[in-house]
Amino acid sequence: MPKPNIPIVQDLSQNSAKEEEQHVHDVYEVIAPHFSQTRYKPWPVVEKFMLSIPTGDVGADVGCGNGKYLGVNKNVFTIGSDRSSNLIKICGERGLEAMVCDNLSLPYRKECFDYAISIAVIHHFTTPERRIAAIKEILRITKKSGKILIFVWALEQQGKRKFDQNHQDVYVPWALPTELAKKYREENNISEQDQEEIVLNRPFTKSRVFVERYYHLFREHELDDLVCSTNEADILESGYDRDNWYVIAQKR
């Protein structure tokens, strides 16, 4: 079966929070069990960063998903948080410390963490202002001289996935397995006869449903520029890894 086309997102300036609710938060609640099954191996750059943290330090994983990075370094203590309650439930089942909260309003005191990571999160915010606000919130909770690591999807993909270089805001389909697809249809009262008419840009088959996540695809140096625009951190390292751009920065 051919993969669906990647829909282009139109103007988001007036409905940014609503867009994130529908095409990020709600989607992760639906796909959490399947998503977690595909997220188990740490990315090398993230693993290297975590293993470089001094023994005894305390840090935050903002947007921790199923918590795969929370136990990478057994000599530090990392607290996870995510907007998805279903992903946090998975963290709890694994005995990991994590809570439900929003990246734009983290429930921590300022400068209380030695380090922080944000892996594949900032690209889900729909406007530059909200992306900057999310980064500033991560910096707020990090101590002076503390390090942060941020990963975002790159527009310049080297793998099988290719994007239109003229469009950075897209919906990326996620194929639900049979049981989740059935549950999704039932909860949304969608029949096989009218589903394609009711749900725009969400193609269905008898066994599969595609739901769409919003992504802002970052160009080279765009993440660096966002971090610099906060005037709160200095970039120590930046690069490209696994179809993502990343930045390691130190809070001033």
- Ramachandran angles phi, psi of 139, nearest 5°: -70, -35
What is the pLDDT, as a whole number, of residue 189? 53
pLDDT at 186: 56
Q: Which two tokens stand for residue 212?
A: 């769409």
Task: Please choose, from the candidates 43, 46, 40, 36, the residue with its C-alpha nearest in 3D space to the C-alpha of residue 115.
Answer: 46
Report CA torsion sign: 152, 154, 155, 159: negative
Give residue for tokens 């193609």. Answer: 203
Q: Where are the beta strands (DSSP E) in 72-208?
A: 77-82, 98-100, 113-119, 142-153, 169-176
Helix axes of 222-229 and 128-140: crossing angle, nearest 10 degrees? 60
Alpha helices in the chain (DSSP H): 16-20, 26-37, 44-51, 85-93, 128-140, 178-187, 195-198, 222-229
- pLDDT single digits (tens) 97-124: 999 999 999 999 999 999 999 999 999 9
CB atoms within 10 A of CB 95: 9
The structural domains of the chain, ordered by start, are: 37-156+218-251 (3.40.50.150)
* Residue-level pLDDT at 166: 84
Report how far residue 114's alpha carbon sits from residue 200's, in angstroms, rounded to the nearest whole number: 45
Given a cut of 50, the residues of the chain with pLDDT beneath it are 1-4, 190, 193-204
pLDDT for position 196 = 41
pLDDT at 190: 47
